[in-house]
Protein backbone atom coordinates (compact mmCIF):
# COMPACT_ATOMS: atom_id res chain seq x y z
CA UNK A 1 0.00 0.00 0.00
CA UNK A 2 1.63 3.22 -1.22
CA UNK A 3 0.34 6.58 0.04
CA UNK A 4 2.96 8.71 -1.70
CA UNK A 5 2.23 10.95 -4.69
CA UNK A 6 3.66 9.91 -8.02
CA UNK A 7 6.35 12.03 -9.64
CA UNK A 8 3.76 13.48 -12.03
CA UNK A 9 1.41 14.32 -9.17
CA UNK A 10 4.18 16.06 -7.25
CA UNK A 11 5.00 18.00 -10.41
CA UNK A 12 1.37 19.14 -10.66
CA UNK A 13 1.39 20.33 -7.06
CA UNK A 14 4.73 22.13 -7.50
CA UNK A 15 3.59 23.83 -10.69
CA UNK A 16 0.39 25.11 -9.09
CA UNK A 17 2.32 26.36 -6.07
CA UNK A 18 4.69 28.30 -8.36
CA UNK A 19 1.80 30.02 -10.13
CA UNK A 20 0.12 30.85 -6.82
CA UNK A 21 3.23 32.56 -5.45
CA UNK A 22 2.41 35.51 -7.69
CA UNK A 23 -0.98 35.77 -5.97
CA UNK A 24 -0.14 36.05 -2.30
CA UNK A 25 -2.17 36.94 0.78
CA UNK A 26 -1.88 40.65 0.00
CA UNK A 27 -3.42 40.05 -3.44
CA UNK A 28 -6.38 38.11 -2.04
CA UNK A 29 -6.88 40.60 0.81
CA UNK A 30 -7.11 43.41 -1.75
CA UNK A 31 -9.56 41.38 -3.86
CA UNK A 32 -11.59 40.56 -0.73
CA UNK A 33 -11.92 44.28 -0.01
CA UNK A 34 -12.64 45.46 -3.54
CA UNK A 35 -14.40 42.49 -5.13
CA UNK A 36 -14.28 41.76 -8.83
CA UNK A 37 -13.43 38.47 -10.51
CA UNK A 38 -9.70 37.54 -10.31
CA UNK A 39 -9.16 37.65 -14.07
CA UNK A 40 -5.36 37.75 -13.78
CA UNK A 41 -5.31 34.61 -11.62
CA UNK A 42 -7.72 32.86 -13.98
CA UNK A 43 -5.62 33.88 -16.99
CA UNK A 44 -2.42 32.63 -15.33
CA UNK A 45 -3.99 29.24 -14.73
CA UNK A 46 -5.23 29.16 -18.33
CA UNK A 47 -1.88 30.22 -19.78
CA UNK A 48 -0.17 27.35 -18.01
CA UNK A 49 -2.71 24.83 -19.29
CA UNK A 50 -4.36 23.89 -15.99
CA UNK A 51 -8.00 24.72 -16.67
CA UNK A 52 -8.54 21.58 -18.73
CA UNK A 53 -6.86 19.16 -16.34
CA UNK A 54 -9.73 16.64 -16.52
CA UNK A 55 -10.76 17.26 -20.13
CA UNK A 56 -9.52 14.54 -22.55
CA UNK A 57 -6.41 15.36 -24.55
CA UNK A 58 -8.33 15.00 -27.84
CA UNK A 59 -10.32 18.10 -26.86
CA UNK A 60 -7.50 20.30 -25.61
CA UNK A 61 -7.20 19.09 -22.02
CA UNK A 62 -4.66 17.13 -20.02
CA UNK A 63 -6.73 13.98 -19.58
CA UNK A 64 -5.91 13.62 -15.89
CA UNK A 65 -8.07 11.99 -13.23
CA UNK A 66 -9.97 13.44 -10.30
CA UNK A 67 -6.98 12.62 -8.06
CA UNK A 68 -4.78 15.04 -9.98
CA UNK A 69 -7.57 17.62 -10.04
CA UNK A 70 -7.93 17.32 -6.26
CA UNK A 71 -4.19 17.81 -5.80
CA UNK A 72 -4.47 20.95 -7.90
CA UNK A 73 -7.51 22.25 -5.98
CA UNK A 74 -5.87 21.64 -2.61
CA UNK A 75 -2.71 23.45 -3.69
CA UNK A 76 -4.68 26.49 -4.83
CA UNK A 77 -6.61 26.78 -1.57
CA UNK A 78 -3.54 26.04 0.55
CA UNK A 79 -1.57 28.86 -1.10
CA UNK A 80 -3.78 31.41 0.66
CA UNK A 81 -6.12 31.80 -2.29
CA UNK A 82 -8.67 29.82 -0.31
CA UNK A 83 -12.12 29.42 -1.79
CA UNK A 84 -11.70 32.64 -3.75
CA UNK A 85 -9.00 31.14 -5.93
CA UNK A 86 -10.44 27.63 -6.00
CA UNK A 87 -13.94 28.78 -6.92
CA UNK A 88 -12.62 30.95 -9.74
CA UNK A 89 -11.52 27.84 -11.64
CA UNK A 90 -13.72 25.17 -10.05
CA UNK A 91 -16.16 24.69 -12.94
CA UNK A 92 -13.30 24.50 -15.46
CA UNK A 93 -11.76 21.60 -13.55
CA UNK A 94 -14.68 19.20 -13.78
CA UNK A 95 -17.84 21.12 -14.62
CA UNK A 96 -18.19 19.90 -18.20
CA UNK A 97 -17.73 16.24 -17.38
CA UNK A 98 -21.37 15.59 -18.44
CA UNK A 99 -20.35 16.75 -21.92
CA UNK A 100 -17.32 14.44 -21.85
CA UNK A 101 -19.45 11.44 -20.84
CA UNK A 102 -22.82 12.10 -22.48
CA UNK A 103 -22.21 14.66 -25.23
CA UNK A 104 -21.98 13.67 -28.88
CA UNK A 105 -18.77 14.12 -30.85
CA UNK A 106 -19.84 17.42 -32.38
CA UNK A 107 -20.66 18.83 -28.94
CA UNK A 108 -17.34 17.70 -27.48
CA UNK A 109 -15.38 19.37 -30.29
CA UNK A 110 -17.43 22.56 -29.97
CA UNK A 111 -17.77 22.86 -26.21
CA UNK A 112 -14.67 21.40 -24.56
CA UNK A 113 -11.62 23.11 -26.16
CA UNK A 114 -12.72 26.69 -25.29
CA UNK A 115 -13.27 25.65 -21.67
CA UNK A 116 -9.89 23.90 -21.46
CA UNK A 117 -8.13 26.93 -22.93
CA UNK A 118 -9.84 29.37 -20.58
CA UNK A 119 -11.43 31.21 -23.51
CA UNK A 120 -14.88 31.00 -21.93
CA UNK A 121 -16.20 31.23 -18.41
CA UNK A 122 -19.24 29.22 -17.43
CA UNK A 123 -21.69 28.98 -14.56
CA UNK A 124 -23.60 25.91 -13.38
CA UNK A 125 -27.29 26.54 -12.63
CA UNK A 126 -29.14 23.88 -10.64
CA UNK A 127 -30.38 25.25 -7.31
CA UNK A 128 -33.73 27.05 -7.08
CA UNK A 129 -35.17 29.27 -4.32
CA UNK A 130 -37.80 26.82 -3.05
CA UNK A 131 -36.13 23.45 -3.60
CA UNK A 132 -32.73 23.63 -1.90
CA UNK A 133 -31.07 20.23 -2.06
CA UNK A 134 -34.27 18.51 -3.24
CA UNK A 135 -33.18 18.61 -6.87
CA UNK A 136 -35.98 16.38 -8.17
CA UNK A 137 -38.48 19.13 -7.35
CA UNK A 138 -36.96 21.73 -9.67
CA UNK A 139 -39.55 23.95 -11.31
CA UNK A 140 -37.64 26.01 -13.91
CA UNK A 141 -39.30 25.06 -17.19
CA UNK A 142 -37.71 24.49 -20.59
CA UNK A 143 -40.56 24.01 -23.10
CA UNK A 144 -39.72 22.49 -26.48
CA UNK A 145 -40.86 24.68 -29.39
CA UNK A 146 -39.63 23.36 -32.72
CA UNK A 147 -35.85 23.40 -32.87
CA UNK A 148 -35.38 25.17 -29.55
CA UNK A 149 -36.41 25.26 -25.91
CA UNK A 150 -37.87 28.32 -24.22
CA UNK A 151 -36.90 28.72 -20.57
CA UNK A 152 -38.73 30.60 -17.83
CA UNK A 153 -38.13 30.55 -14.08
CA UNK A 154 -35.51 31.19 -11.42
CA UNK A 155 -32.23 29.81 -10.13
CA UNK A 156 -30.30 30.88 -7.03
CA UNK A 157 -26.76 30.67 -5.61
CA UNK A 158 -25.25 30.54 -9.08
CA UNK A 159 -21.52 31.31 -8.99
CA UNK A 160 -19.68 33.40 -11.64
CA UNK A 161 -22.89 34.43 -13.44
CA UNK A 162 -21.63 38.03 -13.50
CA UNK A 163 -18.77 37.05 -15.81
CA UNK A 164 -20.07 33.88 -17.50
CA UNK A 165 -20.16 33.43 -21.27
CA UNK A 166 -21.86 30.02 -21.00
CA UNK A 167 -24.33 28.33 -18.70
CA UNK A 168 -24.70 24.66 -17.78
CA UNK A 169 -28.38 24.50 -16.94
CA UNK A 170 -30.61 21.82 -15.44
CA UNK A 171 -34.25 22.46 -16.34
CA UNK A 172 -37.55 20.61 -16.27
CA UNK A 173 -38.66 19.66 -19.77
CA UNK A 174 -41.61 17.54 -18.59
CA UNK A 175 -43.82 18.87 -15.78
CA UNK A 176 -43.42 17.04 -12.48
CA UNK A 177 -47.06 15.90 -12.46
CA UNK A 178 -46.57 14.16 -15.82
CA UNK A 179 -43.61 11.93 -14.93
CA UNK A 180 -43.73 8.53 -13.23
CA UNK A 181 -40.69 9.30 -11.07
CA UNK A 182 -39.52 12.75 -9.90
CA UNK A 183 -35.99 12.06 -11.22
CA UNK A 184 -37.42 11.97 -14.75
CA UNK A 185 -38.25 14.93 -16.96
CA UNK A 186 -35.14 17.01 -16.18
CA UNK A 187 -32.78 17.90 -19.04
CA UNK A 188 -29.26 19.31 -19.13
CA UNK A 189 -28.13 22.10 -21.45
CA UNK A 190 -24.85 23.88 -22.14
CA UNK A 191 -25.47 27.08 -24.04
CA UNK A 192 -24.68 30.78 -24.44
CA UNK A 193 -25.48 33.06 -21.50
CA UNK A 194 -27.92 35.52 -23.07
CA UNK A 195 -28.08 38.54 -20.77
CA UNK A 196 -30.95 39.93 -22.77
CA UNK A 197 -33.10 37.06 -21.48
CA UNK A 198 -31.43 36.31 -18.12
CA UNK A 199 -31.49 38.92 -15.36
CA UNK A 200 -28.64 38.49 -12.91
CA UNK A 201 -28.95 39.75 -9.34
CA UNK A 202 -25.83 39.43 -7.19
CA UNK A 203 -26.24 38.20 -3.61
CA UNK A 204 -24.11 39.98 -1.00
CA UNK A 205 -22.44 37.41 1.23
CA UNK A 206 -19.99 37.08 4.09
CA UNK A 207 -16.99 35.78 2.15
CA UNK A 208 -15.48 34.97 -1.25
CA UNK A 209 -16.35 38.41 -2.56
CA UNK A 210 -14.29 37.95 -5.73
CA UNK A 211 -16.44 35.08 -7.00
CA UNK A 212 -20.00 36.29 -7.28
CA UNK A 213 -23.11 34.36 -6.21
CA UNK A 214 -26.37 35.25 -7.89
CA UNK A 215 -30.07 34.81 -8.37
CA UNK A 216 -31.06 34.34 -12.03
CA UNK A 217 -34.39 35.22 -13.61
CA UNK A 218 -35.14 33.59 -16.99
CA UNK A 219 -37.75 35.17 -19.24
CA UNK A 220 -38.21 33.66 -22.69
CA UNK A 221 -34.60 32.44 -22.76
CA UNK A 222 -34.09 30.31 -25.90
CA UNK A 223 -31.77 27.30 -26.17
CA UNK A 224 -31.09 25.52 -29.48
CA UNK A 225 -31.84 21.79 -29.44
CA UNK A 226 -28.22 21.07 -30.35
CA UNK A 227 -27.18 22.53 -26.97
CA UNK A 228 -29.04 19.82 -25.05
CA UNK A 229 -26.65 17.26 -23.56
CA UNK A 230 -27.73 13.66 -24.16
CA UNK A 231 -31.37 12.64 -24.12
CA UNK A 232 -34.28 14.80 -23.07
CA UNK A 233 -35.44 13.95 -19.56
CA UNK A 234 -32.17 12.28 -18.49
CA UNK A 235 -30.49 15.35 -16.99
CA UNK A 236 -30.76 14.25 -13.37
CA UNK A 237 -28.90 11.04 -14.22
CA UNK A 238 -26.20 13.08 -15.96
CA UNK A 239 -25.53 15.45 -13.07
CA UNK A 240 -25.39 12.53 -10.63
CA UNK A 241 -22.32 11.41 -12.54
CA UNK A 242 -20.56 14.59 -11.44
CA UNK A 243 -21.72 14.79 -7.83
CA UNK A 244 -19.08 12.49 -6.34
CA UNK A 245 -16.18 14.26 -8.10
CA UNK A 246 -17.56 17.60 -6.94
CA UNK A 247 -17.61 16.39 -3.34
CA UNK A 248 -14.01 15.23 -3.71
CA UNK A 249 -12.86 18.58 -5.10
CA UNK A 250 -14.71 20.54 -2.39
CA UNK A 251 -13.06 18.30 0.21
CA UNK A 252 -9.63 19.01 -1.29
CA UNK A 253 -10.30 22.75 -1.18
CA UNK A 254 -11.46 22.63 2.45
CA UNK A 255 -8.34 20.67 3.39
CA UNK A 256 -6.11 23.14 1.59
CA UNK A 257 -7.71 26.11 3.31
CA UNK A 258 -7.53 24.37 6.69
CA UNK A 259 -3.83 23.60 6.22
CA UNK A 260 -3.20 27.20 5.23
CA UNK A 261 -4.90 28.43 8.40
CA UNK A 262 -3.01 25.89 10.52
CA UNK A 263 0.31 27.06 9.07
CA UNK A 264 -0.54 30.68 9.89
CA UNK A 265 -1.56 29.77 13.44
CA UNK A 266 1.55 27.66 14.02
CA UNK A 267 3.88 30.41 12.80
CA UNK A 268 2.14 32.98 14.97
CA UNK A 269 2.29 30.68 18.03
CA UNK A 270 6.07 30.42 17.60
CA UNK A 271 6.57 34.17 17.26
CA UNK A 272 4.03 35.67 19.67
CA UNK A 273 5.58 36.18 23.11
CA UNK A 274 3.35 36.71 26.17
CA UNK A 275 4.52 36.38 29.80
CA UNK A 276 8.09 36.13 28.47
CA UNK A 277 7.49 32.95 26.47
CA UNK A 278 6.10 32.07 23.05
CA UNK A 279 2.43 31.18 23.32
CA UNK A 280 3.14 28.01 21.35
CA UNK A 281 4.94 26.67 24.42
CA UNK A 282 1.59 26.45 26.19
CA UNK A 283 -0.30 23.18 25.83
CA UNK A 284 -3.58 25.11 25.64
CA UNK A 285 -2.29 26.45 22.32
CA UNK A 286 -0.38 23.34 21.19
CA UNK A 287 -3.04 20.71 21.66
CA UNK A 288 -5.86 22.26 19.58
CA UNK A 289 -3.41 22.82 16.71
CA UNK A 290 -2.19 19.24 16.98
CA UNK A 291 -5.80 18.04 16.80
CA UNK A 292 -6.34 20.22 13.72
CA UNK A 293 -3.36 18.60 11.99
CA UNK A 294 -4.63 15.09 12.72
CA UNK A 295 -8.16 15.86 11.57
CA UNK A 296 -6.95 17.47 8.35
CA UNK A 297 -4.61 14.58 7.63
CA UNK A 298 -7.38 12.03 8.21
CA UNK A 299 -9.69 13.99 5.89
CA UNK A 300 -6.92 14.21 3.27
CA UNK A 301 -6.47 10.44 3.27
CA UNK A 302 -10.24 9.94 2.98
CA UNK A 303 -10.31 12.40 0.09
CA UNK A 304 -7.48 10.63 -1.73
CA UNK A 305 -9.17 7.28 -1.16
CA UNK A 306 -12.40 8.60 -2.69
CA UNK A 307 -10.50 10.05 -5.65
CA UNK A 308 -8.65 6.76 -6.19
CA UNK A 309 -11.94 4.84 -6.11
CA UNK A 310 -13.50 7.19 -8.66
CA UNK A 311 -10.51 7.04 -11.01
CA UNK A 312 -10.56 3.23 -10.81
CA UNK A 313 -14.23 3.16 -11.76
CA UNK A 314 -15.25 1.82 -8.35
CA UNK A 315 -18.39 2.87 -6.42
CA UNK A 316 -17.24 5.87 -4.39
CA UNK A 317 -20.41 7.50 -3.05
CA UNK A 318 -19.71 6.70 0.59
CA UNK A 319 -16.06 7.73 0.40
CA UNK A 320 -16.80 10.95 -1.51
CA UNK A 321 -19.49 12.00 0.95
CA UNK A 322 -17.35 11.04 3.93
CA UNK A 323 -14.43 13.03 2.51
CA UNK A 324 -16.61 16.09 2.01
CA UNK A 325 -17.99 15.85 5.55
CA UNK A 326 -14.65 15.23 7.28
CA UNK A 327 -12.85 17.90 5.27
CA UNK A 328 -15.57 20.47 5.81
CA UNK A 329 -15.51 19.97 9.57
CA UNK A 330 -11.71 19.73 9.83
CA UNK A 331 -11.22 22.80 7.65
CA UNK A 332 -13.71 24.81 9.68
CA UNK A 333 -12.15 23.78 12.99
CA UNK A 334 -8.65 24.67 11.77
CA UNK A 335 -9.73 28.10 10.51
CA UNK A 336 -11.62 28.85 13.73
CA UNK A 337 -8.64 27.76 15.82
CA UNK A 338 -6.34 29.95 13.75
CA UNK A 339 -8.43 32.99 14.69
CA UNK A 340 -8.45 31.96 18.35
CA UNK A 341 -4.68 31.37 18.34
CA UNK A 342 -4.15 34.91 17.07
CA UNK A 343 -6.42 36.26 19.79
CA UNK A 344 -7.56 39.81 19.08
CA UNK A 345 -5.31 40.01 16.05
CA UNK A 346 -7.19 37.10 14.54
CA UNK A 347 -10.11 39.49 14.13
CA UNK A 348 -7.97 41.89 12.10
CA UNK A 349 -8.02 41.57 8.34
CA UNK A 350 -4.27 42.16 8.00
CA UNK A 351 -3.59 38.76 9.61
CA UNK A 352 -5.77 37.02 7.00
CA UNK A 353 -7.16 34.24 9.20
CA UNK A 354 -10.56 35.94 9.59
CA UNK A 355 -10.92 35.73 5.80
CA UNK A 356 -10.10 32.03 5.90
CA UNK A 357 -12.82 31.49 8.52
CA UNK A 358 -15.40 33.33 6.44
CA UNK A 359 -14.51 31.37 3.32
CA UNK A 360 -14.35 27.93 4.92
CA UNK A 361 -18.07 28.10 5.58
CA UNK A 362 -18.60 27.40 1.86
CA UNK A 363 -17.28 23.81 1.77
CA UNK A 364 -18.99 23.14 5.08
CA UNK A 365 -22.39 24.13 3.66
CA UNK A 366 -22.09 23.19 -0.02
CA UNK A 367 -22.68 21.31 -2.25
CA UNK A 368 -24.48 19.15 0.31
CA UNK A 369 -25.12 19.87 3.99
CA UNK A 370 -23.30 17.91 6.72
CA UNK A 371 -26.67 16.57 7.88
CA UNK A 372 -27.56 15.11 4.49
CA UNK A 373 -24.15 13.44 4.31
CA UNK A 374 -24.89 11.80 7.65
CA UNK A 375 -28.26 10.67 6.29
CA UNK A 376 -26.57 9.21 3.21
CA UNK A 377 -24.07 7.22 5.28
CA UNK A 378 -26.78 6.06 7.69
CA UNK A 379 -29.03 4.83 4.86
CA UNK A 380 -26.64 3.66 2.14
CA UNK A 381 -23.80 2.30 4.29
CA UNK A 382 -25.45 1.26 7.55
CA UNK A 383 -28.78 0.23 6.03
CA UNK A 384 -30.91 2.35 8.35
CA UNK A 385 -34.39 3.53 7.21
CA UNK A 386 -34.74 6.80 5.33
CA UNK A 387 -35.43 9.65 7.73
CA UNK A 388 -36.86 12.31 5.42
Give Dmax (Cα) for the chain: 79
pLDDT at 3 over 90: no
Mean pLDDT of 134-163: 96
pLDDT digit string (tens) for 289-313? 999 999 999 999 999 999 999 999 9
pLDDT at 114 over 80: yes
**Percent of the chain predicted with pLDDT > 70:** 100
What domains does the chain contain, in order, with CATH numbers? 7-116 (1.10.540.10), 122-233 (2.40.110.10), 237-381 (1.20.140.10)
Q: What is the mean pLDDT of the chain?
A: 96
- Predicted TM-score (pTM) above 0.75: yes
Among candidate residues 122, 80, 155, 4, the one with its CA nearest the CA of residue 353: 80
CA distances from 84 to 21, 98, 160 (A): 15, 24, 11
DSSP 8-class letter at 234: B
Q: Are 91 and 190 in contact (CB under 8 A)?
A: no
For residue 115, name the pLDDT band (cuts at 50, 70, 90): very high
pLDDT at 192 over 90: yes
Q: Which of 62-71, 131-140, 250-259, 320-329 has the lowest mean pLDDT?
A: 131-140
Angle of the 66-76 helix axis to the 7-20 helix axis, nearest 10: 30
**Residue 251: how many CA atoms within 13 Å on its side-chain side?**
33
pLDDT digit string (tens) for 209-245? 999 999 999 999 999 999 999 999 999 999 988 899 9
What residues have CB less than 8 Å from 41, skipping those under 6 apart? Answer: 23, 27, 81, 85, 88
pLDDT digit string (tens) for 342-378? 999 999 999 999 999 999 999 999 999 999 999 999 9
Number of H helices, E strands in the chain: 12, 10
Mean pLDDT of 328-352: 98
Angle 350-354-356 (CA atoms, 0-180°, nearest 5)?
110
What sign does the dihedral 327-213-243-369 (CA atoms) show? positive
Among candidate residues 42, 186, 193, the one with its CA nearest the CA of residue 122: 193
Mean pLDDT of 126-147: 92
2 vs 304: CA distance, rounded Å: 12
pLDDT digit string (tens) for 6-57? 999 999 999 999 999 999 999 999 999 999 999 999 999 999 999 999 999 9
Q: Are 266 and 288 in contact (CB under 8 A)?
A: no
Q: Are 326 and 385 in contact (CB under 8 A)?
A: no
Among candidate residues 118, 205, 215, the one with its CA nearest the CA of residue 166: 118
Q: Are 298 and 326 in contact (CB under 8 A)?
A: yes
If DSSP codes are grouped into helix, strand and coil, which group holds residue 124?
A: strand
pLDDT digit string (tens) for 83-105? 999 999 999 988 999 999 999 99
In the prediction, which pLDDT does 347 show? 98
Amino acid sequence: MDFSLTGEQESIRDSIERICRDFDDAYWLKKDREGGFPFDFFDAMAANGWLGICIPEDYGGSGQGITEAAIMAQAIAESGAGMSGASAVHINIFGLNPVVVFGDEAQKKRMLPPMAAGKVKACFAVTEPNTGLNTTQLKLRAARKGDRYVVDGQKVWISTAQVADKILLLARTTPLEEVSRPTEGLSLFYTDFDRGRIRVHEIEKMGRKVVDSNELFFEGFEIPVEDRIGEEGKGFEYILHGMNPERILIAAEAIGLGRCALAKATAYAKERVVFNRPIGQNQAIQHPLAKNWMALEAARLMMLSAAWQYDKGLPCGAAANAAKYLAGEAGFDACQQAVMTHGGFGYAKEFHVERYLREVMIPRIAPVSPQLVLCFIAERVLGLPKSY
